[in-house]
Structure 1
């Protein structure tokens, strides 16, 4: 027999759990924001939601842990707690916020309810500057609404190779912005909640995307340097020289320079 840990007043309240962009882009008209976690789920970048129809991006969804255990996931571990933020919506604004969220979370997400475990009391320092008298501290789980992209919706992607997923996130862009910005903002937002709120799946993908950024930067520098060298050669080559001869001169010139340098070094020894 389950025990109801919420008071009658709390049962009438509307709370929303955010585990993705809602962490750093809160809904309107909230009067309390509490960090904490839910259990029984795994957070994964397995939902199409951003980008373009030709290159849809990836966002996080929650997978029931019992279902996730049946899958072959390259990230074969996941924290027991899925950290995020719960928002209490002002009672006279609930319908308005629900309509806003239905539009924001469209494209595969459906409404579910899950118990949320507050990490701190509502009046603890470090949270958003709200009036702590709005409600007393919670000592048990709060019933929260959560939007989840379940495996039976068309936008659900399922397990992917982490490197291929990171490459996909790197190159996807749409009306919501760069897909990689969503990933990196999520990592930053999670790290800010608690020393224990990190997510290995999110961190690994973020590290892979940063490595891709470094690779792209190095390739761009190499391309620029090559272009500058070709420009210098063209500036010092007669206009009637063919491109093939120019390319031959480009390679042989360095070999000749090397031979002269070697000759000069040899002469210095005698």
Structure 2
């Protein structure tokens, strides 16, 4: 019973969009894996991070689909500051709702466990809805917001998945990535400028949470190298977090 109680103490969040490569908060353990019965789609509009009210961008959400599978990264939240930060970034600013789903780690020696999930639905603020991918690509090319260009959001996510989760191929994401790159070449746009400076000040490598590695299996799973933190000159860091929380996040 004591072991089971230990397993419920930590709250984890599942990242499938910008949280994969730009978590922006201090976390404990992390693990690559997937959730079932959902697929990633760029159907959520965005007016606070990667777009503006007059020119909304497109960001990822999840859509329920039987036998669907979405790969990403689960992070162990440490302290109230991390959860409050995510609620501001994803709910207050992003228009997402929350639910809880089961996360299946890539390492088969690890037991599936519940994770917090931020998800947008047709009832969410800024919902953009389904559209042909070539139209979504055109919209992404033309949008930018306080956190950077919309192109950066899509391409860095696609790059992260190719590098860290090659088994998690996502046709929707891969096709959108390809269409955006084609448009950049066609219009002679500067990819470096669109991608910005990228995340800075990488978070130290976390120690996997003890309850993910039973004593007789410790050492079987290679620690996941976490993606870099979110840039600190962005809207959500400098203007939306109170000074107390900024200090908690070492900003």
Q: Same fold (TM over 0.5)?
A: yes
Q: Is the 8 A contact 2:31 2:105 kept in 1?
A: yes
Question: Which residues of 2 match residues 113-152 of structure 1 at below 5 A?
Answer: 113-120=100-107, 139-152=110-123
Native 8 Å contact 2:12 2:74 kept in 1: yes
Give the Cα–Cα distance (whole angstroms) in 2 for the partners of residues 158 and 166 of structure 1: 14
The 5-angstrom pairing of residues 102-113 of structure 1 reads: 102-105=87-90, 106=92, 107-113=94-100
Matches within 5 A, 1:161-200: 161-200=132-171
Post-superposition Cα deviations, 1:22-73, rounded to whole Å, max 9, x if no partner, equal 001124221111000000111100001221111100000011115xxxxxxx
Q: Secondary structure at the match of 1:158?
A: coil
Please tell me whether the aligned partners of residues 12 and 75 of structure 2 are also in contact (alpha carbons under 8 angstroms).
yes
* Alignment partners' CA distance in 2, 1:178 and 1:27: 17
Question: How far off its partner does 1:9 sit?
Answer: 1.5
In 2: Cα distance, 1:194 partner to 1:25 partner: 16
Moved over 4 A (4+): none
Instruction: Please give the alpha-carbon distance, in whole angstroms, between the structure 2 residues aligned to 1:33 and 1:216.
Output: 39
Give the Å deviation of 1:189. Answer: 1.0
Q: Name the structure 1 match of 2:174.
A: 203
Q: Secondary structure at the match of 1:51?
A: coil
Q: Deviations over 1:224-254 (max 9, x none)?
A: xxxxxxxxxxxxxxxxxxxxxxxxxxxxxxx
Query: Partner of 2:221 in structure 1?
Result: none
Q: Distance in 2 between matches of 1:181 and 1:194?
A: 19
Residue among 21, 35, 38 paired with 1:24: 21
TM-score (norm 1): 0.64
The alignment status of 1:59 with 2:44, answered yes or no, reads no
Q: 1:7 to 1:27 in 2, by over 3 A?
A: farther
Shift, 1:11, TM fit:
1.7
Distance 2:24 2:145 in 1: 21
**1:9 maps to which of 1, 6, 9:** 6
- 1:100 CA drift (Å): 0.5
Structure 1 distance, partners of 2:146, 2:166, is 33
Conservation of the 8 A alpha-carbon contact between 1:11 and 1:143: no
Deviation of residue 198 (structure 1)? 2.0
Gaps of 5+ in 2: 190-251
Kindly report which structure 2 residues correspond to 1:191-270, keeping only aligned pairs within 5 A, or say none. Answer: 191-217=162-188
TM-score between the two structures when normalised by the length of structure 2:
0.68
Q: Which has the higher contact order (CA 8 A, sep 6+)?
A: 2
Alignment RMSD (CA, Å): 1.8
Aligned residues: 182
Q: Is the 8 A contact 2:102 2:115 kept in 1?
A: yes
Inter-partner Cα distance in structure 1 for 2:150 and 2:112: 33
